[in-house]
Each structure stands twice: as structure tokens, then as C-alpha cells.
């Protein structure tokens, strides 16, 4: 086996890992949106540092982001023959989403929870006022990060969707699904500036119902493409696509 064949086998193994990660994000997505805890008031939010559901949700989010990064890297590698610029831009936008959400979540687990513990343990009035300000400021920063990662996932989905629209039937179906998802996440961005109940309903439906379905579709598309069921090619190409990394002249 020559080096080209070794590279192809290694890349194919990674693509299977990426597909498995996409399927795993279905589970983490459902888990994240099913977990609930009381946090309607400032006083309730102070107890979150010891709330098991809140802590579990944040740790699942960290894992979820890692799975998203692996799966979206796999998608980028598979669609680069269709559009290298869109594959690169899409991966960069998903990296923005992942690292922004990691920073936000780790901030919740370490900084925000630390402030909550100090607030409950403190009796000094001036210290309480300062800690309350810090907590409220951190929550505002968290909202900014939410907008940033929403922008990242919207543009990432749009980039991949536009690239896939130029492929075969299965590619086009997933591409349309990703473009629809980009529209849903864009609404989540807009509703923070212009609140509306009808937009809230769309965002909730997309998060809890559509998102697990489209993540499953991504994993399914990856497996079918790796196995040769999907083309991973532009519609004007005549050569059937066998592997996204098979180099011309390889044996």
C-alpha cells in the first residue's frame, strides 16, 4: 500500500468519526433542550452553581461543541471539491460558533458560578453591590456571545448549504435543509433585537425539533457519501465520486 492509499484510508476513518459525531450531536441537542431548572429571578439564579441540572447542561454543551467541530470539519472536507471557498468559510464560521460557546459555557462554570458562591457567602453591603453588578454584567456579556455564536452557526449553515446545492439529489436535499436551518438561526439573531412571539415560536421549534432532525440528516448524508451513495460532486461532473480525498493519479 503506497502513501496515497494510506492517506485515503486515514481520511476515510476520520470521516466515519465525523459522521458518528454528527449522530451523537442529535443526542446532545435533545439533552440540552430537555434539561430545565429554575432561574426566573436573580435570587433563583444565585443557586445555579449547585444545581445539578444546570451543571450537567453546561458540561453537555462543552461536549456538544466538540462533536459539532469534528462533524463540521468532516463536512468541509467532503464538500471542498464542490466549492473550496464555501467549505473554508463554513468551517471558519462553525469554529467561531464552537469557540464562542466554549468561552461562554466555561465562563458560566467557572467565573459566573464563582461570583454566585461569593455573593451568597458575603455579608458586606458594598461587596454585595459590586458582586451583583458583576453578575449582571456577565449575563449581558453572555447575551453578546449568544448573538456571536448564532451568527457563526447561521453563516456556517448557509455556506455549506450553498455548496451542497450544486451537487446531486441527496446533496441538494441536505443543502436545502441547511439553508432552512440558517434561516431559523438567523431569526434567533433578529428576535433578540426585535422581540416577537411568532419568531420565538419558530426559534423554539427549530431548536427542539428541526435541529435534531437536520443533525441526523448530516450524519446520514456523510455515511451515504462515504459509501458511494452520494456524489460529493458538482452536477456538471461526469465521473462518479468515490472518496472526497482520492487524488488523481493515485492507485
pLDDT in tens, 30-78: 999 999 998 878 888 999 999 999 999 999 999 999 999 999 999 999 9
pLDDT in tens, 8-21: 788 899 999 999 99
3-state helix vs strand vs coil in the chain, percent to 5: 80, 0, 20
Q: What is the pTM of this model?
A: 0.86
Could you give the CA distance from residue 231 to residue 226 in angstroms, rounded to a whole number? Answer: 9
pLDDT in tens, 110-155: 999 999 999 999 989 999 999 999 998 888 888 899 999 999 999 9
Q: Measured in whole angstroms, how far is the alpha carbon of residue 208 from the centre of its chain?
A: 14
Instruction: Write down the pLDDT at residue 141.
Output: 87
| % pLDDT > 90, the chain | 76
Q: Is the pLDDT of residue 26 over 60?
A: yes
**Contact status, residue 14 vs residue 74, Cβ threshold 8 Å:** yes
Instruction: Write down the pLDDT at residue 241.
Output: 38
Mean pLDDT, rounded, of the chain: 89
Query: Where in the chain are the domains?
Result: 3-226
The number of CA neighbours under 13 Å toward the Cβ of 14 is 19
Amino acid at each position: 500500500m503506497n502513501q496515497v492509499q494510506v492517506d485515503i484510508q486515514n481520511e476515510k476513518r476520520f470521516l466515519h468519526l465525523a459522521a458518528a459525531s454528527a449522530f451523537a450531536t442529535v443526542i446532545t441537542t435533545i439533552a440540552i433542550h430537555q434539561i430545565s431548572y429554575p432561574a426566573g429571578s436573580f435570587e433563583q439564579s444565585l443557586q445555579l452553581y449547585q444545581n445539578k441540572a444546570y451543571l450537567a447542561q453546561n458540561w453537555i454543551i462543552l461536549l456538544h461543541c466538540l462533536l459539532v467541530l469534528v462533524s463540521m470539519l468532516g463536512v468541509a472536507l467532503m464538500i471542498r471539491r464542490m466549492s473550496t471557498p464555501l467549505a473554508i468559510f463554513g468551517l471558519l464560521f462553525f469554529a467561531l460558533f464552537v469557540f464562542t460557546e466554549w468561552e461562554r459555557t466555561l465562563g458560566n462554570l467557572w467565573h459566573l458560578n464563582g461570583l454566585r458562591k461569593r455573593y451568597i457567602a458575603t455579608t458586606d453591603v458594598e461587596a454585595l453591590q459590586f458582586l451583583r453588578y458583576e453578575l449582571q454584567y456577565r449575563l449581558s456579556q453572555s447575551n453578546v456571545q449568544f448573538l456571536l455564536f448564532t451568527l457563526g452557526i447561521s453563516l456556517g449553515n448557509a455556506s455549506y448549504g450553498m455548496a451542497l446545492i450544486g451537487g446531486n439529489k441527496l446533496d441538494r436535499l441536505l443543502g436545502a435543509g441547511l439553508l432552512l436551518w440558517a434561516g431559523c438561526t438567523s431569526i434567533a439573531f433578529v428576535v433578540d433585537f426585535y422581540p416577537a412571539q411568532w419568531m420565538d415560536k419558530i426559534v423554539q421549534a427549530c431548536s427542539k425539533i428541526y435541529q435534531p432532525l437536520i443533525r441526523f440528516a448530516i450524519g446520514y448524508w456523510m455515511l451515504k457519501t462515504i459509501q458511494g451513495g452520494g456524489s460529493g460532486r458538482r452536477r456538471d461532473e461526469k465521473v462518479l465520486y468515490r472518496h472526497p480525498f482520492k487524488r488523481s493519479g493515485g492507485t
